[in-house]
Structure 1
Amino acid sequence: MRRVLPAMAALLAIGAAPATPPAVRAWQTDAEGRQRLAPVALRGAPTGEAITIAIRPERRYQTMVGFGASITDASAILIQQLPAARRAALMRELFGRDGLRLGFTRLTIGASDFSPTHYSFDDMPAGQRDPTLARFSIAPNRATVLPTVQQALAINPRLVVMASPWSPPGWMKSGDSMIGGTLRNDAYAVYARYFVRYLQAYAQAGVPMRYVTIQNEPDFSPKDYPGMRWPAKDRARFVGGYLGPALERARLSTRILEWDHNWDQPEQPETVLNDPVASRYIPGVAWHCYGGDVAAQARVHAAFPGKDTFFTECSGGGWRPGWKTGFGDMVQNLMIGSTRNWARGVLLWNLALDPRGGPHKGGCDNCRGVVTIDPVKGEVRRELEYYALGHLSRFVAPGATRIDTGMAADIPNVAFRNPDGSIVLLAYNRSDGAKRIAARVDTRIVSHLLPSGAAISILWNASRG
């Protein structure tokens, strides 16, 4: 336990508020990871040249749901393997008020590549089917995933939970396998009931689902783990003709998000949202980071301004080595880019992985979790994604509203107004040299020399100034 607690104690020290907090506080992470959400001193109005970021609270955009990462099978297995005291301390650090304050998570409906086996909640022997769902059970989640999300909710009762399937049960598909294939035409109705049974079972276990998507990455069919291609017109038919009505009949308030895939094909969610029957059951679109540009979120929002935007998956890994590359990409494209392009919530992929990037069965062999848990030593290492998330999750409360800022040269940024009136600015220096920034809210100005590759979160306390 001595190996885990010092890092946790450092985080708690960052989060601990003095009895009378100053009017403005700031925390910085640098490009080398030597500073990690470290408190830094600010100056008043600059005396020389500075890049000015004007914050305009009166110009308001989307209301935020939260920030977080997915509780995959791999993540839950590793968390549950920790001794009870260490597990409780880590969960408080991730979801608690004095920690990262994660407020959004995603579960997998059955197996993903980050599962030790390829399972659904209604597996059948080859060639057999279960049209009445007599064999349905969430038993595969009861030992690890369910207690992990229950503990997270006990710590943060406002935690928003969503879920996504990687594949229907194999017997519902051509090929009779969770790998590859497509959903059989005669399985649309039973697959809708499968969703209802899953949502009801989790609700009965104290885990209501706010959102669901119908297929993770529906334009990708993996060769070694569960997945399925599902064209836009057929997704619209399933939502409009089957799942939407089934949720209504079951009186479930879970909302359906469309797409759950990359930025490179905005025409796919546009096709579904243009279907008038499906669209009435779909309040928003979910996006991933592995192809295209984050501006696709704004394109679809402009075409369908009444629909919400969520960012639901991006993994760190060996393809983003080093702090400057990995941390900078996470902050620029996700924390800043995704929220500036209308995301109400931002989710990274695995909450926890082991030092070898597992456990997994197929798929990514060099992914990185928000934390790395060594199941042998019981040690927890906080990865760069932890700090990228923390630059917003620690300071932007549920119900905060994104507010307007100008996009300053070399300093991507985003700002929010919390329900208590406090204001948060996240800025990142993407240039090759240090830049003096001046952040202004009304007549209140602070300045700071922001190192190259560094991010800073500035919090203006609502009670002063």
Structure 2
Amino acid sequence: MKKIISLLFVAGVLNTVAAQKITMYSTTASERWTSQKVTVLKHASQTPEVSVYTDSLLQHVTGFGGTFNEIGWNALQSLSQEERDKVMASLFAEEGVRFSLGRTPVACSDYSFGYYSYNDVKDDYTMRNFSIDRDRFILIPYIKEALKLRPDLKMWASPWTPPAWMKVNEHYSQKSSGIEGTDIGHNRLDPARNVLGNVTGFKMQQGYLQAYALYFSKYVQAYKKNGITISMLMPQNEIAWTPCWPSCTWRAEDLAIFVTQYLGPQFKKDSLDTEIWMGTVNYPNPDYIRTFLNQKNVSDYVRGVGVQWTGMKALPVIHKEYPSYGYMQTENMCGNSENDWSALERTWNAVVHCFNNGVGAYMYWNMVLDETCKSWWDWAQNAMVIVDRNTRQVRYTDEFYLMKHLSHFVQPGSRLLKVSDHENVLAFRTADNGTAIVTYNSDEDTRFRTFVIDGKKIEVTLKPKSINTIKMNDK
């Protein structure tokens, strides 16, 4: 009799689990995206409980994404069409990471094959010589492969530098050489032409300002003609840094002048619905963003703020002071080609910080790199997918699976939910009216955790050093 009762109890639990349609996936450094058991509890639990407040809907989630760059597309060319398709599907298809956002540079970046802009003809204020032809052979095919898999992929863009002739030192870079005190990254710029980090590197003269606004307008229109809609533009990557690769610094007041008096009016004149966001901001002091947003007429044209790297430190203050703007984390910290579990942990901590402080979107940096992982300026960084051009082998890194745990179920239309654990748990009301919980076990030992959701208790086993996603659909 006891055996029959036990079997009936187990069957009842399994039926409840099936009715709730609860699934769980776990990833460790050695096991990837494996299915795990979820137990629905009928009695009080002895394990620590985490409450998920499904009636406390926080910010809207636009989604997760990654960046398209020339070196990444070149790495993919070493694969057969079949293998290349598999990599792209792993990032954008239904069964993969399911990125909903894509970032593309406006002309060159540190992961392009050197310097270039869409108009290198000096003082061509009318943009007569504007052309995106280089992109038609590299960046645009890369993006279109993603659009085949994800037609609703939302693309946004930012430049690393204006055309060199629009800058005060008339060079693509801000300083001659050296990556953070090293000798890596020589670019042969005369050190006498280095630009200080606290000044504007752009020529703040009317002709250049007008020309640059027209440059952006032509860029958006040219991409549209080539089948790619640029939904959002941030006028400068890493506003507050002077590296030895393509870059340009802007004082907040000067950037506001450009946006409100030139860029915004040009987009309006040309009937472009591309949103303008402030960014990307890599400065920790909130005063930089605050100064920009407080300038006259900014709110008429600017819809959000994008932060990356140290700019994340400004979020706790800024998103509370300016709640009407959208917020995005625009570039995951790239690391130094560790491509291991430590990179996953750093990214997880950054994701938690950003979502707990108002962001609705989080962007990875290079989705795909070759076996060197190096930029044109010789800095080896992290990637989600590494393609060895010599052996034709493809490696999916730990961060690939972290992004899958975050993005696979959390699609546009989702909402962040309030939770009682603000360090190792993120929860979302998903677009399909389910609940997705992403939780990290940072311990070297197995942990048992109970989640309380709408009065229901579920218990899960978290493997040592694991990232886990629980998906619960409504009945």
Q: What is the TM-score with the length of structure 2 in the denominator? A: 0.86
Matched, 1:361 2:379: no
Corresponding residue for residue 364 of structure 2: 348
Corresponding residue for residue 248 of structure 2: 228
Rate the CA distance shift 1:321–1:103 in 2: closer, same or farther, 3 A.
Answer: closer
Give the alignment of 1:58-457 within 5 angstroms. 58-124=55-121, 128-180=122-174, 182-186=201-205, 187-223=208-244, 225-262=245-282, 264-289=284-309, 291=310, 294=312, 296-318=314-336, 322-323=340-341, 325-334=342-351, 336-358=352-374, 360-362=375-377, 365-407=379-421, 412-431=424-443, 433-457=445-469
Q: 3-state DSSP class of the match of 1:89?
A: helix
Rate the CA distance shift 1:351–1:307 in 2: closer, same or farther, 3 A.
Answer: same
**Percent of residue pairs bearing the same amino acid type:** 26
Give the alignment of 1:20-35 within 5 angstroms. 23-30=21-28, 33-35=29-31
Corresponding residue for residue 10 of structure 1: none
Deviation at 1:414, TM superposition (A): 1.1
Q: 3-state DSSP class of the match of 2:123?
A: coil
Deviation at 1:36, TM superposition (A): 1.9
CA-to-aligned-CA distance 1:205-263 (integer Å, 9 cap, x gap): 1111111111101111112x111111111011110111011111111111111131336
Letter in 2 for 1:420: D
Deviation at 1:320, TM superposition (A): 5.0
Counterpart-to-counterpart distance in 2, 1:315 and 1:144? 25
> Is the 1:400–1:418 contact (alpha carbons within 8 Å) kept by the matching residues of 2?
yes
Letter in 2 for 1:200: Q
Larger Rg: 2
Letter in 1 for 2:167: K
CA-to-aligned-CA distance 1:13-44 (integer Å, 9 cap, x gap): xxxxxxx88621111122xx112222111223
> Is the 2:337–2:383 contact (alpha carbons within 8 Å) kept by the matching residues of 1?
no
> Is the 2:102–2:156 contact (alpha carbons within 8 Å) kept by the matching residues of 1?
yes
Counterpart-to-counterpart distance in 2, 1:22 and 1:47? 19
Letter in 2 for 1:176: E
Q: What is the number of residues matched between the two proteins?
A: 430
Deviation at 1:81, TM superposition (A): 4.0
> Is the 1:51–1:435 contact (alpha carbons within 8 Å) kept by the matching residues of 2?
no
Q: 3-state DSSP class of the match of 1:147?
A: helix
Counterpart-to-counterpart distance in 2, 1:154 and 1:322? 30
Counterpart-to-counterpart distance in 2, 1:21 and 1:330? 34
Deviation at 1:326, TM superposition (A): 1.6
Counterpart-to-counterpart distance in 2, 1:159 and 1:270? 31
Counterpart-to-counterpart distance in 2, 1:383 and 1:450? 20
Q: 3-state DSSP class of the match of 1:369?
A: coil
Q: 3-state DSSP class of the match of 2:137?
A: coil
Q: Structure 1 unaligned runs (5+)?
A: 1-19
CA-based RMSD of the aligned residues comes to 1.9
Counterpart-to-counterpart distance in 1, 2:385 and 2:327? 26
Q: 3-state DSSP class of the match of 1:185?
A: coil
Q: Structure 2 unaligned runs (5+)?
A: 1-17, 175-194, 196-200
Rate the CA distance shift 1:351–1:264 in 2: closer, same or farther, 3 A.
Answer: same
